[in-house]
Structure formats: structure tokens, C-alpha cells
Chain A
């Protein structure tokens, strides 16, 4: 019998599997954090723009201050989301190509729509940001952008869960090969999508609390810090529920890993949860420390996410079976280019920051 899961590529993996896995897991948070901000930030910007028009004078000023420090950031985090999304997707394709390409083909039209939706969302943010400079802000533009990005996230959740469900593929493909399938019937999909959306609001709240310190007026500073802290804490508490829902949607052998079945997995998950809760307690007084704890949580969750993936496909697919022929030369060049690239980024950032605030 020939299994339906595509076989591994005859061209070997060009690096040890462990290294590719570490890169996959460690680079993902660099995508997730700006993604959270691009999504949650879009909704927040829309809300702030809407409130700025209607709220009383004093409060309206707060909202405008919030928008002032947020709109350009929205463009930057969207750019960062896309750019930092590429590397994890690259390593995902090396390690999990047989699963990923298959689920992509099954939902081909939807997957292709990601590109158009993303472009639409990105341009909406640009329209929002550039419009804001001279006229009163248009909430609808930010809202449109955020909704389009939400759709992108929804489709990503579909593909990332469908690739873990080889047992569903045959029936889908037999029903239609036109590429119109989604994975919404999967019990893990809804909670997983919700998990990422909730995180977006939490991270956005944290960002607002951090931004507050850049404002000179004490009034605005306090207002923003309070708003950010409340959003962060509220979303994170909600996340506990969503997370438990997600955990309970996983099949028993996978779930059990995190409930004592595997000491390491259990420890990482619950430590990450504890750090996030700790962060909600200190976010008002020490937003920077809260941010550091949250970043640690996100890295932990990236690991947990990877372990869920491994466990879900373990019966039929394992990266350990891949043939490996390391390309040490190109790998070294990558390391050098990466260091030089980071150096260049740091240099540009420092020069930009030192030059003082923009006159715009």
C-alpha cells in the first residue's frame, strides 16, 4: 500500500534537523509579536480614531496622542510581520513540506487569497496613516485593514491545522480537487484561531503601556498606561480560558503531554502561563519587565506549538526520517550575512533614534 502522505523530497535536508527545528521555533516569535501588533493595533487604532472624534475635549486629546504614536508603528509592524514571517515558513517547508504543500493545495484558492487580503490590509493601513496627517483620522480605513488581516490570520490557522490532519485529506480531495476546502470542522481550529486573536489584543495592550512613557504630558501618560495595562490584563485573563479550551480540543495523547505526560512539555507550557499571569500583575508599575516576561511566554508558546505539531502527526510523519546532507559552506555564509545584517539594522536604528524625533 502506498500512503497518501507525500514522501520526503529526494533532495536531502541541507542542515541537521535539530538546527532547522531550532531556527523554526526560535524565529517564529519574531513574526508573532509584530503580527499581534499589526492585528490588535489595527483594531485599537480604529477604535481610537472613532473615539477621538466623539469623545470630550480632554479625552479626545488622549486618543489623538495614542493615534499619533501608533499609526506609523502600524506600518512598521506590518512590514515586520511579513518580513519575519518568511524565515519560519522557509524552515517549515524544509521540515514539513509534505504536510504543508498538501494542505495548501486542498485550500488553494483560500491560501492564494492570503496574498490579496494582505495587500489590501497593508494598503488600508497606509491610507489610514497618510490620511491622518492632515485630516481627522478615518476609523474605517484602520478597521478595514484590521479585518483584512484578521481574515489572513483565519486562513493561516486553517492551513496550519489542516496540515496536521492527514486523516481528513483523502475525503476532502475526493470531494473536490478545486481547492475550496477549509479546516473549520476541526475542533482544534476555532480555539487555536481565537488563541492568536486574543494574544494580539494582549500584546497590543502591552505595547500601549510601553508607549505611554514617550509622552510628556503626565495626564496622557497615565491614561495610556492605564488603557494598555487594562487591555493587556483583560485579554490575558481571557486567554487563560481560550487556552484551556484549546488544550481540551486536542486529542488525548497530545493533550496529555502537557498534563504531566511529558515533564519538559508540561513545565514549559505552565511556566509560560505563569509568566504571562505574573506580567499582568506588574504591568502597571513595570511595563518593561512585563514585556520581557511576555516575550518569554511567547517563546515558550512557540515551543509548545511545535510540540503539539510533532505530537499530532507523530503516528504518520516524523522529521527524524528525513535524509540530511548538511551544506556547511552556505550555512556559514548565512551566519556571516545574518550577523552583518543585524549589525546594519542596529546601526541604522541607533542613528535614527539618536537623530531625535521626526519633525513630521
Chain B
């Protein structure tokens, strides 16, 4: 309502965020766990005077640098980019509440990137002790950056006492922060093992390959052993509605939650019977399959985590469509069009009902729904009569627990209902119509 709404045809913003976020999570957790893997494996190689293992760690560190420093770092910036485009209002809130946390995270990121470069370029140059120390600095800084970001992420689902105190500390130390931190750390350990399996599977000689595979499998299994417990703790801390959504309230979410558990279980079984028990018979194909399952597990889990936050983007503070709860009374009384920027008209009783309906759709619904594409409305309301649509709108949050209530005046709601009802049955409606036919957007000069 405050910002213009980006309208990427057919695509929901959620999908874009999902693609970028899932890939980033899959790499960034590896960046955290992988740091510990590198330095601990290096230390072990020194201790046992194991030249072969050391040569493997060196090779693995190149792979590590190529994956984390470039893709990990840039895709992390990518999430920031994407959420700013899809949810500018919420992004702005997160930036304001947490700017110092982001700034602190930035310092850790800086140290992390520098340490990774020194570590990689220092293999032949630095003495063992210094090299190990830099490895520890990398691992510590990477984990610390997870520590900071995790608190911001969990804030969105469980802002806790911040809702009343608006204190930074309440925002950061929110109810699900610790269980999520533990879970993400365990995931990082497991992913470190998973990626190490990938590089181990092609290492020569064969004896070394078997050894490293077994060792890397232990990381996968150890991480996965913690996840059920930390995960249960996490689930116990999230809002009841969020739990309901994931446990039957919304079938798609439930299926994905189930998939998350099933895929993780499959990873454990395959890792145990494959690279752990029979490392010499395990090929790169098996390992790649496990890694792919890992990406799948990461994807569905992150998707569920996002989905259970509905109907909010910041729980109990801001709905998914960027309207804040503290605005509701005013908007319900005075209307959304009267307050919104970036709309072409302000009067819901305007005879051009198509445009009224479209503007309300764009202001309140477009952040999750498209017309014809992802979460498309035309198909959803097909066959619905106007009265039925209106009834649905009046009870939106009761009938569909993961949606916000309709916000606005009665004429606004009726205009939206009329527009939606015609969408399914009558002539196709072009998304650009309302703007393209010469609408008068409120201009700066008029405002002043």
C-alpha cells in the first residue's frame, strides 16, 4: 500500500524468493558447517601425520571457496534483493528493527570472506598453527553470522514480546531463536558432511576415498541425529496456528512437512548403508543422489517454514500483504483506496468497477496471488457467484485460516467481489487494463 506493487506476470513473488532462498540456504549452511569440517579435518591430518588426508582437505578447500565465496555470498545478497522487491514494507521493517544486527553480521561476513581467502591462499605459505588458526577464525565468523541472521529470521515467525515492548533485545532473543539456532547448526554439520561426500567420491587413491567417505558420513549422521530433537523443540515454540497449518490445517503444507521428514530419513538411511557401511562400493552417483535429496529436504523445509507464517509476514504485526494490524481500524473505517499510494482512483463507488476491483486486488492480494499464473485467482473463483465471493471475502480469515481478513470498507469489498466473480466467468481481464486506459495516478505535484 505504501510501495508500488511489482507485478511480474504469471509469477508470484513467493516463488522468486523461494528459488533464491532455498539455493542460498543449501549453500550457506554448508559454508558454516564446512568451515568446521575443514579445520577439524586439517587438524586430524596434522595429528596423524596423514599426508593423503591433508591433500584431500586442500582439494576440498578449493571446491569450498568456489561454492561458498561466490555462490553463497552473492545469493545471500540475492535474498536481500528479492525480498526488497517483493516485500519492501516488511524488508524495511526488518532493516529498521535490526540495522545494528545486520551491521554486526556484516563484520562477521567480512572476517569470514577474508579468512576464507587467507585460508585458501595460505596452504603453501603459512605455518600449520597460523593456518589452523585462520581456519578457526573462518569457522567462528561463519557461525557467528548464522547466529545473528537466525535471530532475525525467527523474529518474523515469533516476534514474542517485541510486539509490546518494541525492544531490540526482545526482537532478537525471541522464543524460537535458540531451537532454530540449534537446528540450523545441526543442518550445517550434516551439509558439511554431504558436500564432503561429493568431493570424497572422486578422490584418489581408493583407500583414501573410502576413509574420507566414512568420515564424512559421520558428519551427516551426527547432524541428522540432532535435528529431530531440536526440530521438536522448535515446533513447540511456534504459534499454535502455525503448528495447525503444518499438521493438517493446510494439506499442501502438511504434505511438504511430511516430505521434509521423509527425505531427511531417506538421507540418513542412504548415508548409513551407502558411504558409511560400504564406502568402497559407493559411487559418485549415489552420493549425488543423497546430495540432491539434501537439496530437496532443505527446499521443502524452508518452504514449510515460510508457509506456516501465514497469514503474516511478521507474526501478529504485519500481514503477508504488508498491511499492519495497527492500521486495520483506520482502513476498515476509511477505506484502503483512500490511504493507498500508487492507485489510480480513491473512490470505491466509482462507476469503473473493473478498475476499483483491480486496484484493490493489486493493493491487498497481489503479494501472494496472480490473476492467471501462480496462485492464480481466475481458476480459484471459477464458477463462483458474486454473492458467494462476497461471503468468502467477509469471512476470509475464518474460512481460510492462512489468509488475512479482508481489510477495507463494504463498498470496497463488494467491488472486489464483483471484479473477482466476473474474472472467472466472463471476458478475459487484462492485468494492465486499469492503468493502461489513462488512469490518473496521484502525482507528486498534486500532492504538494
Contacts and interface: CB of A to CB of B under 8 A. Distances in A.
Interface string A315-345: 1100000000001011101100110110011
Interface stretch (A111-119, A236-244, A264-272): A111-119
Contacts of B113: 79, 83
A331 B100 contact: yes
A15 interface: yes
A126 B66 contact: yes
A262 interface: no
Contacts of A22: none
Contact of B324 (A2, A10, A82): A10
Interface string B117-156: 1100110111100100010010001000000000000000
A330 B3 CA distance: 29
Interface in B46-96: 66, 69-71, 73-75, 77-78, 81-82, 84-85, 88-89, 91-93, 95-96
A123 B447 CA distance: 47
Contacts of A108: 6, 8, 85
B96 A173 contact: no
A3 B341 contact: yes
A6 interface: yes
Interface stretch (A162-170, A199-207, A251-259): A162-170
Interface stretch (B102-110, B174-182, B215-223, B397-405): B102-110
Nearest to A101: B88
Interface stretch (B252-260, B287-295, B419-427, B437-445): B437-445
A188 to B, nearest CB: 18
Contact of A179 (B85, B110, B432, B441): B85
Given A79-B113, A179-B85, A348-B137, A90 B441 contact: no
Nearest to B435: A174
Interface stretch (A35-43, A216-224, A350-358): A350-358
B107 A334 contact: yes
A65 interface: no
Interface in A176-229: 176-179
B448 A341 contact: no
A3 B444 contact: yes
A179 B111 contact: no
A104 interface: yes
Interface residues of B, number: 81
Contact of B93 (A11, A178, A316): A11
B430 interface: no
Given A86-B109, A173-B4, A3 B448 contact: yes
A82 B100 contact: no
B99 interface: yes
A227 B339 CA distance: 60
Given A94-B99, A333-B100, A115 B81 contact: yes
Contacts of A2: 339-341, 442, 447
Nearest to B122: A352
Contacts of B16: 112
A248 interface: no
B3 A119 contact: no
A171 B438 CA distance: 10
Given A333-B100, A355-B130, A106 B95 contact: no
B111 A11 contact: no
Given A115-B74, A341-B110, A178 B7 contact: yes
B92 A167 contact: no
Q: Is the interface of B mostly helix, strand, loop or mixed?
A: helix
A105 interface: yes
A341 B105 CA distance: 11
A94 to B, nearest CB: 5
Contacts of A177: 4-7, 362, 432, 435
Interface in A25-84: 72, 75-76, 79, 82-84
A348 B125 CA distance: 13
B107 A105 contact: no
B101 interface: yes
A206 B130 CA distance: 32
A352 B118 contact: yes
Contacts of B273: none
Given A179-B6, A334-B104, A355-B130, A15 B99 contact: yes
Nearest to B71: A119
A277 interface: no
A115 B75 contact: yes
A179 B125 CA distance: 49
A132 B175 CA distance: 51
Contact of B122 (A3, A86, A90, A355): A355
B85 A105 contact: yes
Contact of B92 (A97, A111, A173, A351): A97
A61 B4 CA distance: 56
B4 A79 contact: no
A61 B2 CA distance: 60
B374 interface: no
A5 interface: yes
B102 A173 contact: no
Contacts of B92: 9, 11, 93, 97, 101
Contact of A4 (B101, B126, B141, B442): B442
Nearest to B341: A4
B342 A122 contact: no
B88 A170 contact: no
A101 B84 contact: yes
Nearest to A118: B74
A300 to B, nearest CB: 24
A13 interface: yes
B55 to A, nearest CB: 15
Contacts of B169: 329
Residue in A7, A101, A176, A316 whose Cβ sees the most chain B Cβ within 10 Å: A101
A210 B228 CA distance: 56
Contacts of A84: 110
A337 B104 contact: yes
Contacts of A348: 114-115, 118, 134, 137
Given A14-B97, A94-B95, A348-B114, A4 B447 contact: yes
A109 B13 CA distance: 12
Contact of B81 (A91, A112, A333, A338): A112
29 contacts: A3-B341, A3-B447, A3-B448, A14-B96, A14-B100, A15-B99, A15-B100, A79-B117, A84-B110, A86-B106, A97-B95, A102-B4, A104-B81, A111-B81, A112-B81, A115-B78, A119-B71, A126-B66, A174-B441, A177-B362, A178-B7, A334-B104, A334-B107, A337-B107, A340-B107, A344-B115, A344-B137, A356-B125, A359-B124
Given A105-B4, A357-B125, 6 more contacts: A14-B97, A90-B103, A101-B92, A126-B70, A176-B432, A351-B126
Per CB-CB distance, the 4 closest pairs between chain A and chain B, nearest first, are A3-B447, A330-B100, A101-B88, A11-B96
